[in-house]
Structure 1
């Protein structure tokens, strides 16, 4: 079972372009979920609220103690990290409101697992750089930032700038997958989530196409990872794992 796989046909910068588009879509779902309540702490326009906060922090970072500060880029990273976890969306709403009032503590708590000696950011960077054979130059990244600022107004510029992080990392040569051997494998469920900020649903679709026994499942939900958060997907996965039976046609699971 593959839950939220990336698109195996893409390399940089197309891969980051795809995930940035997905992050914008996921933010729209976050905004809709907030404004569905008349008490949305971000007001009637959550995107506008975050845009304004990021602009302010791009001028003056928010002091966070011990010489640290919450910058515009750190705020966007915090937002993207929580978009993949809908259960934490209320926490993100509160942290953004507090930051707007000058209190960075909520954003600092969200960012804490990403940095430091045990942080996830470095590990994710190493994986991303190892998975790409393309290195984007600063000039190319600047050109992309100009284009993506229009197409992806919240995350585009930061995503383009992040592309240069892999510049010093060694890049490998082309890899030719080995031909499959032996009997065909059992059915493999490939699950994509509609509003997944990390792994666009198109990645699951293309992965399923690449697998001889891939069985595509689309969940019309939000966040990263559909199993076991939805009964529809959970039932399909459990049946496949316990009995080896999987749907013969693509399945769409409701939110």
Structure 2
């Protein structure tokens, strides 16, 4: 009986190891993200007597082996962004892929995401900034090309559903995945405790971003490519 029990336990361990090896192998074979490059920046400078600046006439770059353009259609009032939208189009204007809404008084950042399979993705961010260095995420779109069209894989609502805590967000590529780190500016002092609510942010303990202790983070959301679903999977990391 003991031998039979030990054999069953050994077989179960082998089965678990086999499943884990299959998972690791499958993950290794899946598309891996490799880089993040800024392709557009528009700064609105809320709270400062500085005109809106950056790629106001648009930004041209290669995405999925095609020269494309992010073209702004923004209304300017007293040299500040009063809202509008930005289009993702082919450089010659013959193909109109997507439009990103831009609310009044917001700034814009966009990044090209490369992969080991030659496929590129784009993450487009809008945010409100203040003169004291604070910023507030207003919109996020993660997009990619399917056949001859661009689709939206994730938005700001995806981050909210995943449980990300943030005022603004920082994108980066880590271990083949897109990491979105949520962060907030710390307003307190060393004596009174850092952060809007002493040592916690939205009820959870945070850790500092950098030695200056001006910004803090609670968690991150990772986007990883799922070959079977042909879509990005999402996981929250505390």
Same fold (TM over 0.5): no
Q: Which has the higher contact order (CA 8 A, sep 6+)?
A: 1
TM-score in terms of structure 1 length: 0.23
Give the number of the structure whose residues are more often strand, by fraction: 2
Normalization by structure 2: what TM-score? Answer: 0.24
